[in-house]
Structure 1
Amino acid sequence: MNYPDEMYLFDFTSGYNPGFVRSKRWGIGRYNEKRAGMYVAAQYCNKRNIHMGIDIWTEAGAPVFSFANGTVAYLQDNNKRGDYGPTIIIAYDLDGTQLFALYGHLSRSSLERWSAGDRVQRGQQIGALGSREENGGWVPHLHFQLSVRDPGEADMPGVVSEERREEALRLYPDPRRILGELYRQEKGPRDPRR
């Protein structure tokens, strides 16, 4: 996959600064990262803070594409503050293995394009990133998450508690399996191309 050269690797282990995130044109938020001060909405119960997807931060309206041929499984607007906002889950069959991919924080118009059961092609645009007003109140970004289990709806726990971490790592594999090596495991802000 091709990514912009100026991709910034965020480190949210010591806090979340929306102004700093907005100052970067493109950025990556890590998988399996224990984040500080980011998940304060009621649904997180002050203990869910381990991130189970990869975030790709950029401007609202940026296109989002399907990584393979698949079928739209679920779509809905998770419109609580701090939630995903418009969300699409696509089911993929990858060499006999079924995977479900959540595309969260989309624009509302992204949901108008699709119905459950629609086929999507590799490289086809499935939506666009939503603005803060429609994506749950976040700086615009895509939350991309994989699941080996059918979630049954257009939702997955994007962050989990420490007690659920090991189970979550089994259910929600590292999205770099699909997206490529966007970053290495080192801590601290780094250029993911190094």
Structure 2
Amino acid sequence: MIDFLNNISEKPLHVVDANISFNKYYPISIAASNQELTFDVSSSKEWEKYVNDFLQKNNKTVAFGGYLEVRDIYSRSEHFNKLSEENQRNIHLGIDLWCDEGTAVLAVLDGEIHSFKNNTNYGDYGPTIILKHSINGKEFYSLYGHLSLASLENISIGTKVKQGEKIGTLGDSSVNGDYAPHLHFQLIIDIEDYKGDYPGVSSKKMLEFYKQNCPNPNLLLKLPNETLIRD
């Protein structure tokens, strides 16, 4: 499946506003190991200031990254935090794209709306849309989390969407699970019985399963890695 996903497109694919050139993207780490994260990581306002300052310093518009990143931010929420280290969910399964509230969110490929939901747990996705894709006989799903409430209005399961079509906009911290504005973008092979939701963070115990079921979204997005951008 990895080779199949990687070969779908030779070019980078947009999942936020296509008017933002890829040269305005810059990698960011919010891993627990990043010693620059000296602020209160439980505060969405401090996160927003950190991301905005980061983008301004680098003269960029979108900060991205985070696949399989081990993060401290989830420890603030009982939705993720379990008693044992093995069961604590803190390993990120998607790519985050940090940019302004209200930024257009785009379908990564042709597909249809599989499901949608407002996931209202503290630290959760908030408004979420999942698309189903069928290409050359293979099916998989893409998840778009931390959207605006308006993104869930007047949409229906089964509606066809085209690659690059606007499917929503980014929400602010009051609706998106209490985060700085960003898109959580994730690929899913087997959606299981989930509707409008799917785990976006794994525990150590479940990581091998989720690495197989949620491959690196950059197989599709093809965003330049940190070395290429910073050279």
TM-score, normalised with respect to structure 2: 0.76
List structure 1 runs of 4+ shifted beyond 6 angstroms: none
Residue equivalent to 2:221:
179
Q: Which amino acid aligns with 1:21?
A: V
Residue equivalent to 2:64:
28
Distance (Å, rounded) in 2 between the aligned partners of 1:37 and 1:105:
15
Residue equivalent to 2:135:
94
Q: Does 1:9 align with 2:30?
A: no
Task: Give the length in aligned residue pairs.
Answer: 189
**Does the aligned pair in 1 maintain the 2:65–2:97 contact within 8 Å?**
yes
Q: How big is each residue's C-alpha offset from its partner over 1:141-175, in whole Å with a ceiling of 9 and x where there is no partner?
A: 00000110024311111111111111110010110
Unaligned segments of structure 2, at least 5 residues: 1-11, 15-20, 56-60, 83-87
Max radius of gyration: which structure?
2
Residue equivalent to 1:187:
none
**Does the aligned pair in 1 maintain the 2:74–2:89 contact within 8 Å?**
no
**Does the aligned pair in 2 maintain the 1:106–1:130 contact within 8 Å?**
yes
Distance (Å, rounded) in 2 between the aligned partners of 1:22 and 1:113:
32
Distance (Å, rounded) in 1 between the aligned partners of 2:100 and 2:26:
14
The CA deviation at 1:96 is 1.6
Higher helix fraction (1 or 2): 2
Q: Which amino acid aligns with 1:180?
A: K
Distance (Å, rounded) in 1 between the aligned partners of 2:203 and 2:65:
18
Q: Which amino acid aligns with 2:222?
A: G
Question: Secondary structure at 2:79's aligned position in 1?
Answer: helix
Distance (Å, rounded) in 2 between the aligned partners of 1:124 and 1:6:
21
Higher strand fraction (1 or 2): 1
Cα RMSD between the aligned structures? 1.9
Residue equivalent to 1:166:
208
Identity among equivalent positions (%) equals: 34
Residue equivalent to 2:76:
40
Unaligned segments of structure 1, at least 5 residues: 185-189
